[in-house]
Amino acid sequence: MKRTFWPLLSAALVLAMVLGACAPAATPTPTPRPQPTAVRPTAVPTTPPAAAEPIKVAILGPLTGDVATFGASNRDGAIMAMEEWNAKGGVLGRPIEWVLGDSQCDPKAGADAARKVIDEDKVKYIVGAVCSSESIPISEYANEKGVLQVSGTSTNVNVTVDKDGKTKPYTFRACFIDPFQGQVAATFALQNLKAKTAAVVLDVGNDYIKGLAEEFRKAFEAGGGKVVVWESFVKEDTDFSAILAKVKAANPDVFYIPTYYDKLNLIASQAKQRGITTPLLGGDGWDSPDTDLAAADGGYYTNHYSPEDTRPIVQDFVKRYQARFGSVPDALAALAYDATNLLLQAIQDTGVDDPSKVKDTLAAIRYEAVSGLITFDQYHNPIKSAAILHVKDGKVSFAASVGP
């Protein structure tokens, strides 16, 4: 490099000198150096550069209600990504501005939050939501309005695919889906826990919980296992004694609880009180700083990432997040961070702030994210590994990684 650089530079200098010598009334160009502001001619009005119009992104998730830690982590992961882009000059030279919406892990609140951010705040992009049951109605309105949505962690199949099996053009996610998650849990139960029988409890009104329970049952029975207890409850239930009596009587090899942490805490502690010692197994919904680790002791759950993953991209992320928020990021934070980066990278790569074009860039993206390399299949789902985590002695540790 240097070899060619210097001759070229000196040639340019000679040329400049020659041109300078020929130019009539040439004034010698002073070496530019920083000028103190005081000597600037004050008579010339200076117009500040027009402030670039921000690109607005809504962050949706349950900020209140039974699973509020999900919304907090989702928000913080997304904000961290946006702050990092802003520190580098924004996207397309424009700052990112976020609008928060509380979808409460509820279909109706989700639909209301989507209408508010789209119709009133005029966002063209949404990160979120978290619970599949809120992301599904949000995706329906977003697709109607041409608003691009990237969920970090909504795993139900119907988040990105409509009732007729058609991919929703404006909805993507950064996580694997429940048919895979259920399969991973079933295989782990059959092979690692050597389980032949399982009990399963489910909230029939929740898309994610119901869907994951069904996927687990399908995979467990296909692998030769038998589901001996299959019991439903509703969101309002807090006393699980009737269900737990059946679990105790059946004495299964594994107890699958594919709920969020709020219900896990109740079911697991009531199970312990009744003397049920069956190993517990669950899904990503267990991932919360508020999970009762004593009640879930000995249990395993499938998740999207582990902060113990030694890949530098993970460790760098964990360090920056801890410095910014003072806690170890959970999967919700990591995947909201990934979802936001995917979206912003796609806007940047497209070169225009137009969701109808950005969606095509996103569909073809190849992005090295904290939770792994992301490329999308035809249903806008990434094909990724799952982590299996072990709850033991008040700690959650990485047990295994299972590839697709």
**Contact 386/379 with Cβ under 8 angstroms?**
no
Q: What Rg value do the Cα atoms of the chain yield, rounded?
A: 27
DSSP string, 77-132: HHHHHHHHHHHTT-BTTB-EEEEEEE-TT-HHHHHHHHHIIIIIS--SEEE--SSH
As measured in angstroms, the least distance from the Cβ of 391 to ligand PHE is: 15
> Which stretches of 212-359 are assigned E, i.e. beta strand?
226-233, 254-256, 280-282, 300-303
As measured in angstroms, the least distance from the Cβ of 70 to ligand PHE is: 5
As measured in angstroms, the least distance from the Cβ of 95 to ligand PHE is: 29
Positive/negative CA dihedral, 241, 223, 388, 84: negative
As measured in angstroms, the least distance from the Cβ of 211 to ligand PHE is: 8
CA distance 265 to 294: 9
Which residues bind to ligand PHE, rule: CB under 6 A? 70, 130-132, 153-156, 208, 284-285, 287, 331-332
Choose between 253 and 338: whose C-beta lies nearer to ligand PHE. 338
As measured in angstroms, the least distance from the Cβ of 276 to ligand PHE is: 24
Choose between 253 and 309: whose C-beta lies nearer to ligand PHE. 309
Q: And the tokens for 230?
A: 């299959």
Backbone angles phi, psi at 292, to 5 degrees: -80, 95
Buried b (16+ CB within 10 A) or exposed e, 383-403: ebbbbbbebeeeebebbbebe
Residue where the block lists tokens 């669950």: 282
Identify the three-state secondary structure at position 5: helix
CA distance 364 to 359: 9
Residue where the block lists tokens 């700690």: 395
Backbone angles phi, psi at 39, to 5 degrees: -85, 0
Choose between 291 and 350: whose C-beta lies nearer to ligand PHE. 291
CA distance 81 to 225: 43
As measured in angstroms, the least distance from the Cβ of 274 to ligand PHE is: 26
Helix/strand/coil percent split, the chain, to 5 = 45, 20, 40
First and final C-alpha spacing in the chain: 45
**Contact 174/369 with Cβ under 8 angstroms?**
yes
As measured in angstroms, the least distance from the Cβ of 331 to ligand PHE is: 5
Choose between 149 and 153: whose C-beta lies nearer to ligand PHE. 153
As measured in angstroms, the least distance from the Cβ of 143 to ligand PHE is: 18
As measured in angstroms, the least distance from the Cβ of 312 to ligand PHE is: 23
CA distance 112 to 312: 40
Choose between 134 and 253: whose C-beta lies nearer to ligand PHE. 134
As measured in angstroms, the least distance from the Cβ of 104 to ligand PHE is: 13
Residue 142 burial (CB count, 10 A)? 26
β-pairing, 171-173 vs 125-127, is unpaired
Q: Which residues contact 10 (CB under 8 A, 6 or more apart)?
A: none
Choose between 70 and 180: whose C-beta lies nearer to ligand PHE. 70
